Chain A
Amino acid sequence: MDPTALVLIELGAIFLGLGVLGRLAARMGISPVPLYLVGGLFFGHGGFIPVTGIEEFGHIASELGVVLLLLMLGLEYTAKELVTGLRQTWAAGIMDFVLNFTPGAALALILGWGVVPAVVMGGVTWISSSGIIAKVLSDLGRLGNRETPTVLSILVIEDLAMAVYLPILTTVLAGASFWGGLRAVGIALLTVSLVLVIALRYGAFISRMLHSEDRENFLLKLIGAALLVAGISASLQVSAAVGAFLLGIAISGATAHSATRVLEPLRDLFAAMFFVLFGINTDPTAMPPVLIPAILLAVVTTLTKVFTGGWAAKRAGVARLGRIRAGAALVARGEFSIIIAGLGVSSGAVPAELAALATAYVMILAILGPIIAKYAEPLGKKFGYGHPRAQASQTPG
């Protein structure tokens, strides 16, 4: 068969399959990410129907997916929100990092994978899924809750921390020395602060330059700017994703709003490709041996996240039940864990089992996270964490 025809057929089958899986996820009320991963496992190396010939396109498409995911994450926040978030919740951010990075890193070391995979696994267990969590909070009608700003600001800090962590990760994966790593940290911190200052001062100007009433024109300018910034960042070892994220932050106001609307379908398409490709590159036969470690890791990092959220909510003066809600809301891991694991896998500096472990881990917590968020509070009430009234009246927000 003509190779182009084969590629078209394969891509068609994959996207159609993802469409069906996405619908299934919506009906079950879960995030589509774990199902996309399952889809990838099904098609991939050692899967039921191995696909060939789409590697090159798949690779570029999934890179685009990561750039668009991060660009749109940046669009969600304004520089001002990030700076206030950083000022108010930096302590919780550090707590979050220490408690949730450690279990992943420790497991990688225990499994004897070495330091570089430990840096990757730490990131996988550290970052909560802001996509899943924001949706859960609004679905459960918790936007008006007193603990919700705390939960959201922890997500903000994590996302901002990614802008420092990803460049470090890229450098470490490239096999840099200690000093090389330190230099990467310096460059990353400098770039992030510089972009925040530029975004605060000249955000309106950048937005005006990119803005256009014509949809097509606007889309081309946006994508062009995003890829350019992402590419330059990648060549500076700051990681393409971070460049896109920072550009997203610099775009503000009405422009950010219409940019979100224009980019959403593209992001959905390419991000789906990214998740599926991650699944394709994961060997399903590597899954069973890592299942027990994945479950253990999920249990431990559920507890550490609940503790992190509870602690932060307590500092914000939230009563006991609210602390449970805050902690449980943060449990879900998703897209970012896969982005981090994906960077590791594509660099070739991590063992193949890491992809399997990350896949199993994210599948568990992306599905269980929203369920835990929903039922933690009634469970807490049952076990006598009640009487919030007496306590809440002492701590007016």
Chain B
Amino acid sequence: MNVEETRLPGIGTRREITVANGRRVGVIQFRDGEMNLLVSQQEDPDCSLAEIPLTTEEAAALGSMLGAPQLVQHLSNQQGGLAGLSTEQIVLPRESPYASQDLGATRLRTRTGVSIVALVRGTNVIPSPGPETDLLAGDVVVVVGTPRGIKSAAQILHEG
């Protein structure tokens, strides 16, 4: 994938990709740390259709939404042979009782038999998180287990 990087003197840096239908999609990184999501117009790809300011938290959430499915796909491919196991991503909602607690507090393995193979936080992936790893609202929890186990794990993460 070809990421085009353009410096905007006095403003910051623009990184973008041209997607299959000809539009440019990218991010303007301002020098003071702010960030804009940018999508170009269809009829005039030179011109922005929208420039949406994102807070760090929002950008991180968007990043994990876009990045996690890929990780899940990768994991499913790897364990493809094992019948009866599947990989799923569960987003930890803000109102979850486990937000800002450590992973051990969920006792997910004991209660459902599923394992947490990774946490996706923004653009960071935390592989094989230990019980002492903190969970934050908005984290994408990648789990491997039986469909039934995954279903109850999702319920636990959402409601406790």
Contacts and interface: CB of A to CB of B under 8 A. Distances in A.
A397 B9 contact: no
Given A144-B24, A144-B36, A144-B38, A149 B6 contact: yes
A153 B48 CA distance: 19
A156 interface: yes
Contact of B44 (A85, A152, A388): A388
A145 B8 contact: no
A321 B44 CA distance: 8
B34 to A, nearest CB: 11
Interface in B17-35: 18, 22, 24, 26, 28, 31-32
B155 to A, nearest CB: 42
Interface in A85-142: 85, 130, 134, 138, 141-142
B44 A144 contact: no
A195 interface: no
B14 interface: yes
B46 A319 contact: yes
A34 B26 CA distance: 37
Give the size range of A's interface with the partner: 20 to 34
A389 B32 CA distance: 34
A144 B10 contact: no
B47 interface: yes
Contact of B11 (A82, A152, A389, A397): A152
B51 interface: yes
A268 interface: no
B7 A149 contact: yes
Contacts of A318: 46
Contacts of B40: 144
B57 interface: no
A84 B18 CA distance: 24
Given A321-B44, A392-B46, A141 B9 contact: no
Contact of A84 (B7, B14, B16, B50): B7
In terms of DSSP, what is the predominant structure of the interface of chain B? strand
B18 A146 contact: no
Interface of A, secondary structure class, is: helix
Interface in A141-171: 141-149, 152-153, 155-156
A142 B36 CA distance: 11
Contacts of A147: 46
B113 to A, nearest CB: 47
A392 B10 contact: no
Interface residues of B, number: 27
Contacts of A322: 44, 46-47
A318 B24 CA distance: 14
A262 to B, nearest CB: 14
Given A134-B10, A152-B8, A257 B32 contact: yes
Contacts of A84: 7
Interface string A374-397: 000000000000001100110011
A77 interface: yes
A89 to B, nearest CB: 10
Nearest to A84: B7
A141 B44 contact: no
A76 interface: yes
Given A144-B36, A149-B6, A257 B31 contact: yes
A141 B8 contact: no
B48 A144 contact: yes
Interface in A204-237: none
Contacts of A77: 9-10
A81 interface: yes
21 contacts: A76-B10, A81-B7, A141-B48, A144-B26, A144-B28, A144-B48, A144-B51, A146-B47, A149-B6, A149-B7, A149-B14, A152-B8, A152-B9, A153-B9, A155-B9, A257-B32, A319-B46, A322-B44, A322-B47, A389-B43, A392-B46
Given A143-B51, A149-B6, 8 more contacts: A82-B9, A85-B9, A138-B11, A144-B40, A153-B9, A156-B9, A393-B22, A396-B18
The 10 closest A-B pairs by CB, nearest first: A144-B38, A322-B46, A144-B48, A76-B10, A146-B46, A81-B9, A141-B51, A388-B44, A156-B9, A152-B9
